[in-house]
């Protein structure tokens, strides 16, 4: 696969019929959404909720997350969108910030669970599993859009980037670090870890034995592990990003979230909740 990525130059368009075009970015986003929908339905019984309730929340969180992701991206890149207002809704060209999706999804979930008198932390533990899997899949859309790549490299792992997509100062370079692949693989590993822990915690036998389980652990592991992985990936990226002083905003947010995630994992393990 590495050799293929090193020699293949992708196009953002998967299929076009006349003026109608299907973008790879949107296609991978759709694949992630569909798989996530199936996954929450399969795991719903483990948090003692009906499939209908969980899938209803999934749709609401999905909408809230997508809106939050786009708003966050537009606001942090207002220098471009302020001069190109017609591009604000053009999500098929890329531009969904994960941190914005987290904010939008959490706010939507809080509203939904309060309205329906549900346990937020049980649902949070469940929903981060399809979330991280969707992130793993969605990063391939960045590859086909030739965006969010890393520094230039002469290594065989480098991917070719068209001259038009290379940032200033890198026009003479052809190959760049495939940070989309790094993050996709990291996220898939995190998905496996979270799914394993979630299934172990919600094993019916464990529940019958009345063993305590730290509710919220999977959610905070997601926050901590994803943020740690994002810190590593951000160290490679050269795309334009909002800055706080000399630090890239995505990197700064990831550092803060990683610290919070670790602290909350330790706190959650120290104060276990008894199953209802």
Model pLDDT for residues 104-151, shown as the tens digit of each residue: 999 999 999 999 999 899 899 999 999 999 999 999 999 999 999 999
In a domain, residue 71? The reply is yes
pLDDT digits (tens, 9 = 90+) for 120-131: 998 999 999 999
In a domain, residue 218? The reply is yes
CA distance 243 to 113: 35
Provide the domain count of the chain: 1
CA distance 61 to 82: 28
- C-beta neighbour count of 188 within 10 angstroms: 15
184 against 272, higher pLDDT:
184
Q: Which domain holds residue 190?
A: 2-270
198 and 125 Cβ atoms separated by less than 8 Å: yes
Whole-prediction pTM value? Answer: 0.89
In a domain, residue 262? The reply is yes
In a domain, residue 238? The reply is yes
pLDDT of 276 above 50: no
pLDDT of 54 above 80: yes
pLDDT of 95 reads 80
In a domain, residue 142? The reply is yes
pLDDT digits (tens, 9 = 90+) for 15-27: 988 888 899 999 9
Confidence of residue 190 (pLDDT cuts 50, 70, 90): very high
Tokens of 272: 């276990």
pLDDT digits (tens, 9 = 90+) for 249-274: 999 999 999 999 999 999 998 876 54
227 and 254 Cβ atoms separated by less than 8 Å: yes
155 against 94, higher pLDDT:
155
125 and 113 Cβ atoms separated by less than 8 Å: no
DSSP for the chain reads: -HHHHHH----SEEEEETTEEEEHHHHHHHHHHHHHHHHHHHHGGGGT--HHHHHHHHHHHHHHHHHHHHHHHHHHTHHHHTT-GGGTT-GGG----HHHHHHHHHHHHHHHHHHHT--HHHHHHHHHHHHHHHHHHHHHHHHHTT-S-BSB--STT-EE--GGGSPTT-TT--EE--HHHHHHHHHHHHHHHHHHHHHHHT-HHHHHTT--B-TTHHHHHHHHHHHHHHHHHHTTB-S---EETTEEHHHHHHHHHHHHHHHHHHHHHHSPBPP-
Widest CA span in the chain:
64
Residue in 129, 140, 118, 122 with CA at minimum distance from that of residue 39 = 129
pLDDT of 209 above 80: no
Contacts (Cβ under 8 Å, ≥6 apart) of 23: 12, 13, 14, 92, 93, 141, 144, 145
The mean-pLDDT minimum among 181-190, 199-208, 245-254 falls in 199-208
In a domain, residue 275? The reply is no
In a domain, residue 58? The reply is yes
In a domain, residue 125? The reply is yes
- Dihedral of alpha carbons 252, 135, 101, 225, sign: negative
């Amino acid at each position: 696969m590495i050799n293929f990525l090193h020699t293949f130059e992708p196009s953002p368009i998967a299929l076009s019929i006349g003026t109608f075009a299907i973008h790879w970015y949107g296609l991978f986003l759709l694949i992630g959404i569909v798989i996530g929908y199936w996954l929450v339905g399969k795991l719903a019984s483990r948090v003692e909720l009906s499939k209908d309730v969980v899938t209803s929340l999934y749709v609401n969180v999905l909408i809230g997350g997508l809106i939050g992701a786009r708003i966050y991206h537009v606001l942090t890149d207002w220098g471009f969108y302020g001069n190109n207002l017609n591009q604000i809704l053009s999500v098929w060209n890329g531009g969904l910030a994960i941190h914005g999706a987290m904010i939008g999804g959490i706010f939507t979930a809080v509203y939904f669970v309060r309205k329906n008198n549900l346990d937020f932390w049980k649902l949070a533990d469940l929903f981060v599993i399809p979330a991280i899997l969707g992130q793993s899949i969605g990063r391939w859309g960045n590859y086909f859009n030739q965006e969010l790549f890393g520094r230039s490299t002469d290594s065989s792992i480098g991917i070719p980037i068209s001259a038009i997509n290379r940032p200033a100062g890198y026009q003479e370079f052809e190959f760049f670090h495939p940070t989309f692949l790094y993050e996709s693989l990291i996220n898939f590993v995190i998905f496996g870890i979270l799914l394993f822990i979630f299934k172990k915690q919600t094993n019916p036998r464990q529940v019958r034995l009345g063993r305590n389980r730290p509710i919220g652990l999977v959610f905070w592991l997601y926050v901590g592990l994803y943020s740690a992985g994002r810190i590593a990936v951000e160290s490679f990226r050269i795309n334009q990003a909002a800055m706080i002083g000399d630090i890239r905003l995505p990197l700064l947010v990831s550092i803060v979230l990683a610290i919070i995630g670790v602290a909350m994992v330790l706190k959650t393990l120290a104060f276990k909740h008894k199953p209802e």
